[in-house]
Each structure stands twice: as structure tokens, then as C-alpha cells.
Amino acid sequence: MAGTAPFDRPYVGRFAPSPTGELHFGSMVAAVGSYLRAREMGGAWRVRIEDLDPPREIAGAAERQLQTLARFGLLPDGPVERQSLLQSRYQRALHGLLQRGLAFRCSCTRKDLPTDGVYPGTCRKNAASGRPARSIRFRVDDAELEFDDAVQGPQRQNPAQQCGDFVIRRTDGLIAYQLAVVVDDGSAGVTEVVRGADLVDSTARQILLQRALGLPRTAYAHLPLIVDAHGRKLSKSEGDDPIERLPTPAALRLVLRALGHEPPGGLRTLDALWAWAEKNWNLEQVPAGPVSIGVQGPDHDDYT
Ligand code: GLU
């Protein structure tokens, strides 16, 4: 049962936004869902800023994201980590994988790669073959991997068919998300990853990296994807987003609704909503999704 999922170590959950913009409705669903799950399990809830990709970063976004979390009353247990300050961790992991032959240098350029996105193994055996190495890839075998997602149900993925040997250090020298997320979750002792369903397809790759790095396997719960009234992934266009548009308690009520929880109408303050949510939270009620944000929210005036 979700509430009694066996964890053989103290529960640690986390929320890990990339500072590429404001926290939009979908991100707040992940923040609130991961937070309530950590509270349910009597564990810690950590926040990590995934600022490993300077070209995609928006100046000041990380600070504004933390302010938004605080405005909702979401305060992390322990200090906020920033991936940009953790480079030596990733270098150690890379080095180890290369030394053990689990990763290899790849000299392919974009032109060498097929359009279906599945790496054909070109540099697997014969690394640089006279050409300069560009990226580093993690070697994957052609095998199906199964895991049980606490919200999405049983999953099967075969990374060899999804993407082939995948990049863990990019051509521009930056550490790839897949490696950083696994190293950091491992080092923070994360027991369960609760995040948006847009990342479910990355999970098998991350489990393979956990194994290769000798890290304990985490559990997974992927929260519903939030779509607009037309079923499209929510755009980041400002003004539309309830997180910006509504008073905070009204926005929190909508987030809880997207997570399958409907607080009684009389609850109008953040404190009252959180008290109700912590008491009534049940992961089994969370829909697999997608969830449309088109459902009319509470009236703005109810909350001012
Ligand atoms: N940084 C990723 C994002 O903002 C989330 C990573 C994760 O939760 O694993 O989409």
C-alpha cells in the first residue's frame, strides 16, 4: 500500500527545479506532492536547484522559485543544494564509470547521429578513432527494465531502444541531467523520487546509473502531467498560470485538486489548507493523469 511502502532507510524526498523560469502550476504540483508524501512518511523534504545548464538558466529564477515555495509555506528541511557547486561529485562519478568501462568517450557530431535519436553505438568500441572526443556516453545493454511507479503503476522501459548509450557529459562539457540527478539523489539519501510524469521516461536510465554507481535504488512516484483545456502541455505563458493569477490559498487548493484531493470549501487560509492536506493526504488518490487545469478554480474574491 502506498502509505506503508517499505523503505529500509529513513525517508527522504525532494523537489528539484531547474531555474529556467518561474515555478508554474505543474512545478507546484510536483513541489506539493513531494512535500506531502515526505510528511506522510515522517521523512525529510529537500530542495535542490538544478542549475547545471547556464545557457538555459534565467537570472534570478532560482531565488524567485525559492520565494514562491516560501509564499506557499513550503520550507525545505536542511540547506538548499545547488548543482553548480557540486561539480567535483560529478567528475568523480564520471571518472569511475570511465575507468570501469561503463562509459566511453564519443566523437560523434550531430551529423553522425540518426534522426530517431537512438545512438547506434558508433564509438562504443573504438573511442575517438582519430577524431577528438566530444561527449561521454553511458553504455546500455539491450534489456528491458521493470519498476513499479506508485502513481503510474508498473512500467517497462528498454533504454537501448529508447535512446541507446546516452550522454552523461555533453559536448559543451556540461554534466548531463541524467547523471547529476542520480549522483545528487544518492548523496542526499533520497529514498523516493516524486516528480512530474514528464520524467517517467528517464527513470530506467537513472536506475541503470544508480546500479552502476553502487547507489541504493530509489522508489518512484510520477505525478500527473498538467495540461490545458485542449489537452496540451501547459505553456509557460504568464498571466494564465494560477500560481501567478490567484491568491496563494486559492492556488494551493487547485494544486491539491490536481493531486486528487479536495479540501472542504470552508477552508480559506494556507494554514487550514495545509493542516487538512497533511491529515488527508493519500498517494493512492493521486490520478495518473493527465489532469486538465481547465477545471474552473475557486473565485478570486473568495480569497482576498
Ligand atoms: N530539474 C528537473 C526539472 O525541473 C526535475 C528533475 C527531477 O525531479 O528529477 O524538470
Q: In whole angstroms, give the CA distance from residue 137 to residue 298.
A: 48
Least confident of 80-84, 112-116, 213-217: 112-116
DSSP calls for 221-275: EEEPPEE-TTSPBPP--TTS-HHHHS-HHHHHHHHHHHTT----TT--SHHHHHH
Residue 65 or residue 7, greater confidence? 65
Tell whether the torsion through CA atoms of 67, 72, 73 and 75 is positive or negative: negative
Rounded to the nearest angstrom, the distance between the alpha carbon of 17 and the centre of ligand 1 is 5
Rounded to the nearest angstrom, the distance between the alpha carbon of 72 and the centre of ligand 1 is 19
Asked if 132 and 106 touch (Cβ cutoff 8 Å), the reply is no
User: 229 pLDDT band (50/70/90 cuts)?
Assistant: confident
Mean pLDDT of 101-124: 93
Question: Cell numbers at residue 114, please?
Answer: 540518426
pLDDT at 269: 97
Ligand 1 pocket, CB under 6 A? 16-18, 50, 181, 195, 199
- Report the DSSP beta bridge partners of residue 222: 195
Instruction: Name the average pLDDT for the chain.
Output: 93
**C-alpha dihedral over 108, 114, 120, 124, to 10 degrees?**
0
Share of the chain above pLDDT 90, in %: 83
**Which of 35, 47, 50 for a ligand 1 pocket mutation test, highest count of atoms within 8 Å of Cβ?**
50
pLDDT at 300: 55
**Which of 18, 29, 45 for a ligand 1 pocket mutation test, highest count of atoms within 8 Å of Cβ?**
18
Residue 295 scores a pLDDT above 60: no
Rounded to the nearest angstrom, the distance between the alpha carbon of 252 and the centre of ligand 1 is 20
Ligand 1 atom with minimal separation from the 202 CA? 9
pLDDT at 293: 82
Residue pLDDT, tens place only, 181-203: 999 999 999 999 999 999 999 99
Residue pLDDT, tens place only, 117-139: 999 999 998 765 678 889 999 99
Could you tell me the pTM of the whole model? 0.94
pLDDT at 101: 96
| Contacts with 124 (C-beta within 8 Å, 6 or more apart), sequence order | 104, 139, 165
Mean pLDDT of 240-247: 90
**Side-chain half-sphere exposure of 130, counting CA atoms within 13 A:** 0
**Which of 181, 205, 225, 233 for a ligand 1 pocket mutation test, highest count of atoms within 8 Å of Cβ?**
181
Ligand 1 atom with minimal separation from the 14 CA? 8
Rounded to the nearest angstrom, the distance between the alpha carbon of 45 and the centre of ligand 1 is 15
Residue 81 scores a pLDDT above 70: yes
Q: What is the CA radius of gyration of the chain?
A: 20
Q: How far apart are the first and last CA of the chain?
A: 39
12-226: CATH class: alpha beta
Ligand 1 atom with minimal separation from the 181 CA? 9
pLDDT at 130: 76
**In the chain, where the domains are located:** 12-226
Ligand 1 atom with minimal separation from the 15 CA? 8
